[in-house]
Amino acid sequence: MSDIVILGIETSCDETGIGIVKNGREVLANIISSSSDIQKQFGGIVPEVAARKQLEFILPTLDMAIKSSGLSYGDIDAISVSYGPGLEGSLLVGLIAAKTLSFLLKKPLIGVNHLEGHIFSTFSTYLDLTPPFLSLLISGGHTMLVLVKDYGVYDVLGDTLDDAVGEAFDKVAKLLGLGYPGGPIIDKMAKKGNPEAIRFPRANTGKDSLDFSFSGLKTAVRVFMEKEGKNHKIEDIVASFQEAVIDAIIVRVRRAIEKTKETKLVLGGGVSANSRLRKRLKSLSRDMGFELYLPPLNMCTDNGAMIGIVGYYYFKKGIFSDLSLDVKSSLSL
């Protein structure tokens, strides 16, 4: 059987990701160009700035990926691209590039849900991992528990009711004047603090609920800072906030494992890089007896390789898109 090489394009937000993947597992190239340093000046993502930078980065990043892979355009079997969810302007840049390559190279076009990319981002590391499994997808825009029954077949068990976990990290970091992006800053600072110093609330979304809610926690931090913030070390505040977030996640993961009886938990998304969460999930996996699959840090962020991985499995199923494919900024799983 001949090898299948998929080129993946990911431009859903402020990262321009081009990945080249062989047989759905072997990453030949994974180049990411980001405008995050520019976005820091604004304290968050400015969609217009992100889209302009996508336009600036897309061709140089594509060239770097091809050179890094050691292949030529003729070696590519299909072009996969994330068409949602995300920022419409940013998505359009990647989709136009993908359509152009598909047309010029006469190669199939494969539309991929950005969320699928995060779900399968571990496949480059765990070569024997296959569905079914339980996925914990945690990023700036999403916090979900998904039962992955097969490639392209999903059952969303729990979703965020308000702020996603990454959004909560960013908003609290901004509230505390720590900068952007909030997740890595809080993760680093929390290591110097006491996670039990302050008891922030853990949202109760229902006795058996697998849904998430973090907006109340964000408000609780703001109120605390107004009343008592000056009396506590910032490291303790940050560590206590982070622990409240992770406690909420751990409770729902435990419920989901008990409900589904799944023996595999797969992590994905930007917040899956959080060191404290990884430590707590490792402990939970030992206690409950399930296998934990953690993506390498370079696969946690938005990247083209994860889109290429998903594209391979759609290629194998013969599921392709045509040139009428359009972006869907609020695409669901």
Residue 321's pLDDT band (boundaries 50, 70, 90)? very high
pLDDT, position 38: 81
Based on the fold, state whether residues 138 and 257 are members of the same structural domain.
yes
- Examine residue 237 and state whether it is found in any structural domain, yes or no: yes
pLDDT digits (tens, 9 = 90+) for 213-231: 999 999 999 999 999 988 9
pLDDT digits (tens, 9 = 90+) for 230-283: 899 999 999 999 999 999 999 999 999 999 999 999 999 999 999 999 999 999
pLDDT, position 36: 75
CB atoms within 10 A of CB 106: 6
- Examine residue 143 and state whether it is found in any structural domain, yes or no: yes
Token code pair at residue 141: 């825009």
Based on the fold, state whether residues 183 and 148 are members of the same structural domain.
yes
Q: How far is CA 317 from CA 33, 120, 150, 153, in A?
A: 31, 16, 12, 12
- Examine residue 288 and state whether it is found in any structural domain, yes or no: yes
pLDDT digits (tens, 9 = 90+) for 102-154: 999 999 999 999 999 999 999 999 999 999 999 999 998 899 999 999 999 99
- Examine residue 257 and state whether it is found in any structural domain, yes or no: yes
Q: In terms of Cα–Cα distance, which of 18, 222, 33, 199 is closest to 101?
A: 18
pLDDT, position 140: 86
Q: How many angstroms separate the CA atoms of 276 and 282, rounded?
A: 10
Based on the fold, state whether residues 87 and 190 are members of the same structural domain.
no
pLDDT, position 241: 98
pLDDT digits (tens, 9 = 90+) for 25-69: 999 999 999 887 787 777 778 889 989 999 999 999 999 999 999
Q: Residue 47: is it exposed, middle or buried by C-beta count within 10 angstroms (0-12/13-18/19+)?
A: middle
Own/partner pairs, 257-264, CB within 8 angstroms, 24+ separation: 257/134, 257/288, 257/290, 259/157, 259/208, 259/210, 260/134, 260/147, 260/157, 262/132, 262/133, 262/134, 262/147, 262/290, 263/289, 263/290, 263/291, 264/129, 264/132, 264/133, 264/134, 264/290, 264/291, 264/293
Q: How many angstroms separate the CA atoms of 243 and 120, rounded?
A: 27
Based on the fold, state whether residues 265 and 311 are members of the same structural domain.
no
Based on the fold, state whether residues 42 and 181 are members of the same structural domain.
no
Backbone dihedral angles phi then psi of residue 318, each to the nearest 5 degrees: 75, 30
- The type of residue at 208 is D
pLDDT, position 39: 76
Q: Is the pLDDT of residue 331 over 90?
A: yes
| Range with the poorest average pLDDT among 21-25, 31-35, 90-94, 321-325 | 31-35
Which SS3 state, helix, strand or coil, does residue 322 take? coil
Based on the fold, state whether residues 118 and 214 are members of the same structural domain.
no
Based on the fold, state whether residues 167 and 273 are members of the same structural domain.
yes
* 207 vs 107 pLDDT, higher one: 107
Based on the fold, state whether residues 104 and 156 are members of the same structural domain.
no
Domain with 213 in it: 133-294
The dihedral region occupied by 20, where left means phi > 0, alpha psi between -120 and 50, and beta the remainder, is: beta
Q: Is the pLDDT of residue 1 over 80?
A: no
pLDDT digits (tens, 9 = 90+) for 182-194: 999 999 999 999 9
pLDDT, position 79: 98
Based on the fold, state whether residues 206 and 57 are members of the same structural domain.
no
Based on the fold, state whether residues 310 and 269 are members of the same structural domain.
no
Q: In terms of Cα–Cα distance, which of 240, 139, 226, 130 is closest to 181?
A: 139
This prediction has a pTM of 0.94
pLDDT, position 207: 86
Which SS3 state, helix, strand or coil, does residue 268 take? strand
- Examine residue 329 and state whether it is found in any structural domain, yes or no: no
Based on the fold, state whether residues 38 and 68 are members of the same structural domain.
yes
pLDDT, position 205: 86
- Examine residue 324 and state whether it is found in any structural domain, yes or no: no
Share of the chain above pLDDT 90, in %: 90
Based on the fold, state whether residues 84 and 152 are members of the same structural domain.
no
- Examine residue 173 and state whether it is found in any structural domain, yes or no: yes
Share of the chain above pLDDT 70, in %: 100
pLDDT, position 262: 97
CATH number for 269:
3.30.420.40
Q: How many angstroms separate the CA atoms of 317 and 297, rounded?
A: 29
- Examine residue 325 and state whether it is found in any structural domain, yes or no: no
As for how many domains the chain has, the answer is 2
Q: How many angstroms separate the CA atoms of 93 and 9, rounded?
A: 10
